[in-house]
Structure 1
Amino acid sequence: MPTAQIDARFGVPTASPLPWTAVERQLTEAELYWLTTVRADGRPHVTPLVGVWHDGAFAFCTGVGEQKQVNLTGSPLVAVTTGSPAWTSGTDIVVEGRAERVVGRASLDPLARAWREKYGADWAWQAEDETFVGDDGSRPWVYAVRPAKVLAFGKDPHSQTAYRF
């Protein structure tokens, strides 16, 4: 369980830390995430994508040669975000960590099942030793981001909670 610390500089002084269970539930249930990677020249690259929160980490996949995969060969440091565009409701979450490639059927198979359970037949991945395999023959690489730090921004009341792992 991570340690939580509220930062009173960025919210209502009487706000309490958001419970980790609520943050983890939102990370699990979110349908869309935004991944930020770093290009070779230092510029950020941000892209929306689907993924799963599984076993304490965020997992996503990408095709070989896609910009995010190219960026990850130079720097594995990423930020993953999800939340609500509303100002007065919901919670926005930022996961900071290192994306590490997941290989091995024993590690990939539970992630493929998690994708199928969450997104249905459109994401019917099968696990092989090195990649997922799609019905269309695609073979995306899978990455997992174990959080180093998570920020949760509450909106009613406004608050910022940092979780350290």
Structure 2
Amino acid sequence: MRKNRISGELSADNIYPHGLSKEQKATADKEMAAFRMERWKNMTKEDHLRADLLQVKYKMEDVIESLEYHGTMHFGYFLSAYIRAVQKKQKEFAAEISIDETRLSRIIHNKEFPNDELFIRLELHSNNTIPALSWFLLAEKEKAHNISTNKELRKREKKNVHKTIAKR
């Protein structure tokens, strides 16, 4: 990938130059879209499920590997996306992984932190498609962000530290 020297932005045309005119490219894009739609229609229910799960997995991996924190893409966001991908209602899904429906809702809405057992259950439920470690790293990224930015917690905890080391 080449960056535009002036703006620093990546240009799609610079990544894979195609040498087509605008009309030829538009026709090729239409043909590709039709081909992909035909393939999508011919997929089995299991193929669709796998594609949806992989989409959740790869998006999770992108967030985990990113250097910046994405506040809207927290653990609960991905858990909710996973439940949609497997085409379950929260109540049904909660029963499948033996978790209280209220607790599941609290985790989804970022009101409660998930535990190690949930990471393992999610891995097992996905038949190892999304590893427990991915769920864990996603949750830990969120926790790390909270620890580094929570000024209120620092303020509360300061009263518990009676002596600090000397500055050099």
User: What TM-score bracket applies, with the shorter chain setting the length?
Assistant: under 0.3
Q: Which has the higher strand share?
A: 1
Higher radius of gyration, 1 or 2:
2
**TM superposition score normalised by structure 1:** 0.27
